Amino acid sequence: MMNKEEFYNLLKTRRSIRQYKKDLVSREILERVLAAGMEAPSGKNRQNWRFFVVQGEKRNEYLLYSQKSWLGIKTILKQRLKPSLYDFTERFFFTLGEAPVVVFVYSHNDSEERYHTSIGSVYMAVENINLACVTEGLGSCTMGAPLEIRQEVDKFLGVDKLLEYQRGELELLCGIVIGYPAHQPPRAPRQIENRVTWLE
């Protein structure tokens, strides 16, 4: 059983990794990481997350889509990032940092649950996956950029052919790149001012 210190250290250890070794991640480890995601709580216990794991040649094919998704966000990042960090981020989108695995995360939404509860449930699973990656010695980076080309990603994965999708129930929420980290970025300072309001 993890003690309190180990738990809080785990949270502080997590980073968004954008450079990876080319080493492959075994199916066994990926299954453990995804199983950790599926331990998350969910509204009405619907467990409405859906994961599409892309590796090998399919992962290489996705690079063209990753590069296209960059076009939708590069302008705002140019305004927010230092030039060196902007260039680093652009290289990440063109190579995915050499990460061998991309997991695309969908929410299965339907009338049984409120919309925001459904997507909130899935994002809790995403954070479990990020923390499980740290535990396995892996790095990960959660990306919203695939949403810039959502319909193209749906078709690339074949999701558009599923009945749930055709009924308007499957929604892409993010991608997660996974692999063995090739760098250890500094921890971004936590912004705590005006984040918590106490009422008594």
Per-residue pLDDT at 193: 95
Per-residue pLDDT at 2: 84
Per-residue pLDDT at 94: 96
Average pLDDT, the chain: 96
Q: Where do we find the tokens 């074949």?
A: 158
* Boundaries of every domain in the chain: 13-179
Per-residue pLDDT at 114: 96
Query: How do strand 139-143 and strand 170-179 relate by DSSP bridges?
Result: antiparallel
Split at pLDDT 50, 70, 90, the class of 121 is: very high
Find the mean pLDDT for residues 91-98.
96
Three-state DSSP at 60 gives helix
Residue 90 has a CB neighbour count (10 Å cut-off) of 16
Per-residue pLDDT at 1: 81
* pTM given for the model: 0.96
Strand pairing partners for 176? 103, 142
pLDDT digits (tens, 9 = 90+) for 155-183: 999 999 999 999 999 999 999 999 999 99
Split at pLDDT 50, 70, 90, the class of 99 is: very high
On the question of pLDDT at 148 being above 90, the answer is yes
The whole-angstrom separation of Cα 79 and Cα 114 is 35
Give the CATH number of domain 13-179.
Answer: 3.40.109.10
Per-residue pLDDT at 45: 96
pLDDT digits (tens, 9 = 90+) for 14-48: 999 999 999 999 999 999 999 999 999 999 999 99
Strand pairing partners for 139? 179
Per-residue pLDDT at 162: 98
| Torsion angle in degrees (nearest 10) through CA of 90, 82, 101, 19 | 110
